[in-house]
Amino acid sequence: MPPLSAETSVTAPLETQTIFSKAFESVQNVEQMTLPNVKSVQSYAISYCFNLKSITFGSQLEELQESGIYGNYLLQSVTVAENNPYFKNIGSALTDKDGKVLYLYPVDENTSEVTFPDGIETIERGVFYSSNVKTISLPNSVRKVKAYALMSCTATERVYIGTGVDTLEPDFAFNMLSLIEYIVDAGNPNYKSIDGAIYSKDGKQCVLIPGGRKEYSIAEGTTSLDMVCLGSINTNIQCLTLPSTLTNCQTLCYSHPDLSAIYSKATVPPTGSSYPLFPFNVANITLYVPTGTLSDYQNGQLWRIFTDIQEFDFTDIESVTSGNEAYEVGRYSIDGRMLPAPAPGINIIKMSDGTVQKVLVPEYR
């Protein structure tokens, strides 16, 4: 169908059995689609129709290929006939007949909290989009969440993950601009949450940090990072701190335009199979490394692409709270600017007894 067609409602002829790939791609005006005898919807057949609100299938639908209905951000309803032998609706959700595979979960614009149906085990690509929902909960039955399952949920602040999840594909939560924390149920044997991010259960691997945070410190004890632990797209992150325990560092970002500082505490530069950042982005980033390790990082395969590497003394960074009786008389940014109040990042604090402290103030407090 032509993208600029003036049609707002489309009903497929009764003889139509297959919607081929990209048949309805980027169609601008269609709001309602009725496909009474369609049997198969190929990948990306109905995709990026930004005004599409409802799709109705009959009893014939038997195949919905991966990403067959994808990127339709205003979609509020996908219904299938009750006597369809392959698919069914659970509320607004479209699932397989057993209720174990979730294909789509459209919601209206007034919904602020969502819990996916209990019994779902697999969440497919492109299941959920929303510009209003603030909280998403995955029930304990969910085992696998595919890449881009939660996509561009621009208002979502928290995602709850139940006990059953054993597979989180890279970018399963994609472009989540307001997300401040993932909360993993303590009973999950495979993952846990630390400071709002997802880690392996043993805490050695950082899987994904929330995309709404401007600063994040990877937890001490972490030895490796997932390739897209910051997400393929992260337009918020400005400062990232890597722990002293990190030994393996794969690609940290694809599109992180505001990232301006990385603090690497590891005295031995982490190694890995790919660059930590694409070269086009490193000119905007200052890499801070432990005192005495400058040449090691400058010569390290993963780090030599940085054009601005500076040594930094991590040994005298204090916690945000202090038990000293001396009181604060002045606070400054790392570049010497006076600060009227604690600001995210490294704060230099002058105390009444003449001492100076470096304090790492987290962005989310």
Residue-wise pLDDT for 281-306, tens only, equals 788 899 999 999 999 999 988 898 89
Query: What is the three-class DSSP state of 313?
Result: coil
β-bridge partners, 312: 290
The angle at the Cα of 103, spanning 100 to 106, to the nearest 5 degrees, equals 120
Q: 279 falls in which pLDDT band (50, 70, 90)?
A: low
CA distance 163 to 138: 9
Average pLDDT over the chain, rounded to whole? 90
Q: Which of 36-45, 122-131, 137-146, 346-355 has the lowest mean pLDDT?
A: 346-355
The mean pLDDT of 79-93, rounded to a whole number, is 97
Three-state secondary structure along 163-194?
A: CCCCEECCCCEECCCCCCEEEECCCCCCEEEE
- Kindly report the backbone phi and psi dihedral angles of residue 70, in degrees, each rounded to the nearest multiple of 5, phi listed first: -150, 135
Its pTM stands at 0.83
Residue 339 has pLDDT above 70, yes or no: yes
Q: 357 falls in which pLDDT band (50, 70, 90)?
A: confident
The mean pLDDT of 123-141, rounded to a whole number, is 95
CA distance 37 to 98: 22
Q: pLDDT for 211-235, tens place per residue? A: 999 999 999 999 999 888 998 888 8
β-bridge partners, 73: none
% of residues, the chain, pLDDT over 70: 92
Q: What is the pLDDT of residue 42?
A: 97
CA distance 179 to 228: 16
Q: Which of 171-185, 220-234, 255-269, 309-323 has the lowest mean pLDDT?
A: 309-323
Q: What is the pLDDT of residue 330?
A: 78
Record: fold of 236-315: 3.80.10
Q: Which helix (H) or strand (E) holds 281?
A: helix 279-282
Given its phi and psi angles, is residue 67 left (phi above 0), alpha (psi -120 to 50 degrees) or beta? left
Strand order of the β-sheet with 345-351 is: 317-318, 356-361, 345-351, 328-333
What is the amino acid identity at position 212?
A: G
